Amino acid sequence: MTTSVITGDIIKSRGQTNPNIWIRTLKKSLSYISSDKSYWNIYRGDSFQIEIKDWYQSFLFAVYIKACIKSIRGLDVRLSIGIGNKTYEGNTVSESNGEAFIFSGETIEALKKDKQNLRIKTNHFELDKELNLYFKLALIAMNNWTVNTAEVVKLSIAYPKALQSELGKMIGINQNAVSTRQKRAYLEEIMEVNLMFRNKISNYYL
């Protein structure tokens, strides 16, 4: 059975005077992705892991998690995506095992050393090489999101069918401000990367 796993670390979490703020935000973002808490876990205070059975969604959900965390001033997140088989189904995500879990765990450690914030690992080297190049380019935009642009990205992903005016009402800004923030976030280009990701993945995992 093929699955995907995202492992993450909150960057600069120890500099926050009130950790409850980002922990609450992280829990909300993981609950949005999976309402079943057995598929995600927060550990060591600022690390987490979530299994996403629909691996086509793994990049988009990584973007969503990043937007949620960057909507808090001074914070960012390091994310590794692993796609592969699942050999054991535990009662919790931390008890389950397989390639996806191993790939994701190994990659998060490599990211810390390389000081990069997003990477994928599968059992297809050429696929990884290509996707990680696109991720590096996407990070040029995502790493520079402000609190305001990150908030709009978060809402745009959570409510994909909402009009800009409807998104604006949720946070008290007008439609033009939403449009401006989406452009500053390079949201359209990032969604194009997501489509490319889904197409590339489908060639290897059917």
Do 198 and 56 touch, CB atoms closer than 8 A? yes
Phi/psi at 20 (nearest 5 deg)?
Answer: -60, -30
pLDDT score, position 204: 84
Q: Which helix (H) or strand (E) holds 11?
A: strand 2-11
Residue 49 DSSP code: E
CA distance linking residue 6 with residue 100, whole number of Å: 9
Do 119 and 80 touch, CB atoms closer than 8 A? yes
Number of neighbouring beta carbons within 10 Å of residue 35: 8
pLDDT score, position 205: 75
Tokens of 87: 């050999």
pLDDT score, position 120: 97
pLDDT score, position 114: 86
**Mean pLDDT for back-to-back runs of 10 residues, the chain (206 residues):** 95 80 93 95 91 96 98 95 93 91 94 91 96 96 97 98 97 97 98 96 82
Which of left, alpha, beta for 12 (phi over 0: left; psi -120 to 50: alpha)? left
pTM, 2 dp: 0.95
Which amino acid, one-letter code, is at 8? G
Long-range contacts: 110-119, Cβ < 8 Å, 24+?
110/80, 111/78, 111/80, 112/9, 112/78, 116/78, 117/11, 117/66, 117/76, 117/77, 117/78, 117/79, 117/142, 117/143, 118/62, 118/66, 118/78, 118/79, 118/80, 118/81, 118/142, 119/79, 119/80, 119/81
Number of neighbouring beta carbons within 10 Å of residue 160: 9
